[in-house]
Amino acid sequence: MNKHPNIDRCIAHVDMDAFYASVEQRDRPELRGLPVLVGGSGPRGVVAAASYEARKFGIGSAMTAAEARRRCPEAVFLRPRMSRYRQVSTRIFTVFSEFTPEVEGLSLDEAFLDLTASLGIFASVEILAARIKERIREETGLAASVGVAPNKLVAKIASDLHKPDGLCILFGDQISRTLDPLPVRCITGIGPQTSSRLEHLGICSVKDLRLAPDAIMKRVFGRYAGRMREKARGIDHRPVSAHHPDRSISAEETFDRDIDQRAKLHSRLAGLAQRAAIRVRRKGLQVGTVFVKIRRADFKTFTRQRRIHPASADPRTLERVARELLDDWLEDNAGAPLRLLGVGVSGLAPAAQMKLFGDGDENLEKTIDSIRDRFGDGAVTRGGSVDHD
């Protein structure tokens, strides 16, 4: 029997509070209560995580180390210990699996959980969400902020409303009442430039965006106008995409300088997709899932993935799907400078199970492969992977 007849979907967004800094303060009790910054302290150093003590000085992730030091000279700078953060992250994701197998990891410290099937076990959504927070604290000693809603968009906004150690649950009429007064920049996909442009047009709140004339929406968002209108209404049909990687092949690149120009990112991504596709075809495989790895300037790393059907090893398909995944992420993180990109594939199976291309395309790819085998991988490249700068 459904204990929650008015809830069709129950999605949680779990976000660990100041994760890297919190791990350091937990492991080193003498740092508790101090402004702790995790990141690089050199000329190109940026803050990857700031404790809440440091945030009181206006310091946040992606801020340069020089600026952070100017704002808080007594701050404690620590180099990231990624292996340690991964260990703690594994324990957190193990906790998630106690509640649902439908977990979409966004980074080491952030995930969506589809809790719909778990509702019948708990008396209320509040009890379920509180238990998740409690289990994380039991296993790691760390605090998490949790937002629960009918979809991913609203759940993510909710998790950010009562940080740190917050819990916010939004369903029904609560969604519009909570979203309407919020600034438009809380909607994923609206960065500082778009937010400023909207404010100049008199659109400052989510309610303003929800009620904005179609002409203004088209002018600002173009073909995404309808989608942005839905976001302002708290509508989001995206499923939680659980990814259980088996074998995988990937290629990635760390940039000499951070890149925030979409055209340059597209060209680098095309080259990475090409490298991954070459390795797939040389092994005689086809792929069922494409994923991208994205690392921001503040070292925070994200992954996005999508299943493809039918399975393929066509480099154009891999590039197209990877580009769509990157563009979806960029829509939610407008203007974010990136220091690393990666393209990978999983769900690998022998290519003999199905025909990969039409006859002409298959012959072309075989010819290209033979040229690369003889003269090297750089002998032939696709135009989209060329950085024209």
Catalytic positions, written as ranges = 110
Query: Taking Cα atoms as reference points, which of 226, 221, 187 lies closest to residue 201?
Result: 221
Query: Taking Cα atoms as reference points, which of 347, 346, 363, 345 lies closest to residue 355?
Result: 363
User: Is the backbone peptide bond immediately before 5 cis, with ω within 30 degrees of 0?
Assistant: no
| Cα angle for residues 96, 100, 106 (degrees, 5° grid) | 55
Pull the structure tokens for residue 75: 């701050």
Q: d(Cα 109, Cα 27) in Å, to the nearest integer?
A: 17
Residue 199, CA atoms < 13 Å, CB-side half-sphere: 10
Beta-ladder partners of 259: 338
* Sign, Cα dihedral of 52, 53, 56, 62: negative
